[in-house]
Structure 1
Amino acid sequence: MLSFWEQQSFLEYDYIIVGSGIVGLSAAITLKENHPQASVLVLEQGIFPTGASTKNAGFGCFGSVTELLSDIEVMGEHEVLKLVEQRWSGLQKLQNRLGADAMGRKNFGGSELLLKGEKYEALNANALEKVEYINDLLRPLFGNEKVFEKLPDSKITELGFDTSQVAHLIFTPYEFQIHTGNMMRSLLQCATQKGVEIVNGCKVTAIEDTGGQVEISTSGHLSQQEVVFIASKTAVCTNAFTQKLLPELDIKPGRGIVLVTEPIANLKFKGTYHFDEGYYYFRNFENRIIFGGGRNLDFEGEATASFELNQQIAQHLQEKLSSVILPQQNFVVEHTWAGIMAFGQSGKRPIMENVSENIVIGTRLNGMGIALGSTVGSEIATKLEQ
């Protein structure tokens, strides 16, 4: 049973944000920046942010050449350009808010590996032919600089990759890597320093807009009593878990598996790397490798909010690590984990909309939470202020 003091001081707020990932914290911070006197609460079901904000591989990216070409076929040039603009703007917002050092930014650039094999021939030819087309498309965002360029094939050997498997490399200087843990810790500190309150271990079970206010029912408390919070306006920023509260939305969870190796002697590459239309991605962390992906091997099986590992995909990642990235070199996988992303059938644009007069959602970031999170959070704050 709640005390009189708890009822007086801890239940009613101007704004309540559900979810303490990048989107939720960015929305909360923006609200406090614009309205310092407003009371802002963030509710989080986990000890740490649940989903992918603390479980991603730490890529500051906006899409590889093959990924962007694939998206253009489905979405068209205009929509893809808007999406890249959102991603690039989000990366700048995140850095401007936290600073490069606080987010552990390393500017090594990024490369896409075009693989050898009959299944990749048409994909590779299209990518190489259209590098300048993509550069022209992105010029309004990046200026006159080349966003992408093909590297000399000698770089494949120089970086230690298997030349029997890797045909070409396409490089961009605009990609970077971050320290995901430091970034999220800094974002949490930024929020609390501005006066945002955060409650962890608080699972939201229902949200109701009663017209004049929003009632948010929660569980997970030691007393086993349901606690109802009240807000003037509420934002739901739970990405893949949003469908549990709002099942009518076009959102499907997508599990992503990531591994990290023990330190590797004489590791030859630095930077961020992608292959197979972005479904595989790896980077160095000091002299370790962080490698994730493989969701395309079992789309239906990985459309889950379970954090259990798909052992077949985990094993497949180790095989790719051995055959493509570290040929004829010993390594030990130190740790493997999973994060949960959100995807949809109707495109790659995130969902940012009112579901009622006083409830706004910001969700479906399609595996681009680092890039899109700050932009979506800012947009959500604007909608809450209206």
Structure 2
Amino acid sequence: MNLSYWELKNWFSNIDYTIVGSGIVGLHCALALRENYPESTILILEKGILPEGASTKNAGFACFGSISEILDDLKSHSEEEVIQLIQKRWNGLQILRKNLGDAAIDFKPYGGYELFLKEEESSYNECLQKISFINEILKPIFRNDIFTKEIDRFDFNGIQDYLIFNPYEAQIDTGKMMHALLQKAVNNNIMILNQIEVKTFHDKKDSVEINLGDFTFHSKKLLFATNGFAGQLTKNQVRPAKAQVLITEPISNLDIKGTFHLDKGYYYFRNIDDRILIGGGRNLDFDGETTTQLGQTDLIQNRLEELLKEVILPNTEFKISHRWSGIMGMGSSKKPLVEQLSDNVYCGVRLGGMGVAIGSIVGKELAYLVN
């Protein structure tokens, strides 16, 4: 980096807080730090042109878990832990809406649906039988029943008779959300530098030395908000998980409206701009999708197209417009990791594929951890 005196003086000197990652967590962390420390110097470093992980690459679901996903979580987490997770997701969504406003994120409360393929009869029956139980344990959060069964009105093909509906689920425009967050950060005098990758760091007790390759600088505190990429530098128990997505060209008279889940949340689709966006499928190749390398694979893309053609749009011609992928952060627990790593280094990572829901609250928790 061939830096001038002015660049060193104004961008890399007397830094109080350096945040790595300009996604949902990093930006909410920076905004919370600004609120707590109005006179501080806050710098965000981002290795991509835009946030590299999933913040600008997700499907835009404002959700907290389908019923099959919740039942699956109950097999590896206690009932109390699952309720706490859902409470955190719900609170996080309210923070996001309050911080940015519904218009800025294009919030649309169309509700969410779960559908079950014909061959998923056992899972389907279990979910129908457990609706009352799940509604009961979630009543302290929502005060009302969450899940109800509804007849399919969308003319899906090859699925069980009933969909399970959740009126509290909504959809947002991910790009508008991140644009609004970035604008708010800039308006609050938070510096954001893109295409800069942290190579190593050393906690020096009174500050952290941050190495960017051919240049080092010092910051009083260093905070990692890199989610699926966290394991590379922080050595945390975070596994990257690639999520593949595709979107159709506009479809005339598209009648599908809402957010939709299949197979414990491993597949998901929605309407957007008269198109269908569909993603998921990492359960077809868990090992191959445990990667920080972006890109698509024929195995998963073919399955997404197959679901579009045979289940979602069986009587409609469509063309694929675009494909992409993003990197999530997973682990043995769905609970996010918000912790202090050393005297002056902290992290807020492992969002478990729920970044839209919990990114705001994890960012705030990360900021409050710093003293």
Structure 1 residue 231 displacement after superposition: 1.2
Taking the aligned partners of 2:160 and 2:246, their CA distance within structure 1 comes to 21
- 1:222-261 counterparts in 2 under 5 A? 226-247=214-235, 249-261=236-248
Give the fraction of aligned pairs with identical amino acids, expressed as a percent: 46
1:337 aligns with 2:321: no
Match of 1:7 in 2: 8
Taking the aligned partners of 2:306 and 2:5, their CA distance within structure 1 comes to 59
- 1:1-386 counterparts in 2 under 5 A? 1-12=2-13, 13-117=15-119, 120-143=120-143, 145-151=144-150, 153=151, 156=152, 158-162=153-157, 164-219=158-213, 226-247=214-235, 249-344=236-331, 346-384=332-370, 386=371
Structure 1 residue 167 displacement after superposition: 3.2
Structure 1 residue 207 displacement after superposition: 1.5
Taking the aligned partners of 1:5 and 1:77, their CA distance within structure 2 comes to 55
Structure 1 residue 33 displacement after superposition: 1.5
Contact between 2:124 and 2:160, CA under 8 Å: does it hold in 1? no
Unpaired runs of 5+ residues, structure 1, are: 220-225
Contact between 1:131 and 1:149, CA under 8 Å: does it hold in 2? yes
Contact between 2:115 and 2:159, CA under 8 Å: does it hold in 1? no
Structure 1 residue 304 displacement after superposition: 0.8
Q: Which amino acid aligns with 1:364?
A: R
Q: What is the aligned length?
A: 369
Unpaired runs of 5+ residues, structure 2, are: none
Structure 1 residue 227 displacement after superposition: 2.0
Structure 1 residue 229 displacement after superposition: 2.6
Taking the aligned partners of 1:300 and 1:307, their CA distance within structure 2 comes to 14
Match of 1:166, SS state, is: coil
Contact between 1:43 and 1:202, CA under 8 Å: does it hold in 2? yes
Once the two structures are superposed, residues 147-206 of structure 1 have per-residue CA deviations (whole angstroms, 9 ceiling, x without a partner) of 11111x2xx2x21211x3333200011110000000000000011111111000111101
TM-score (norm 1): 0.94
Contact between 2:89 and 2:354, CA under 8 Å: does it hold in 1? yes
TM-score (norm 2): 0.97
Contact between 1:11 and 1:228, CA under 8 Å: does it hold in 2? no
Match of 1:126, SS state, is: helix
Name whichever of 8-17 and 97-106 sits farther off: 8-17
Contact between 1:115 and 1:167, CA under 8 Å: does it hold in 2? no
Taking the aligned partners of 1:285 and 1:108, their CA distance within structure 2 comes to 12
Root-mean-square deviation over aligned CA pairs: 1.1
Taking the aligned partners of 2:358 and 2:217, their CA distance within structure 1 comes to 28
Match of 2:198, SS state, is: strand
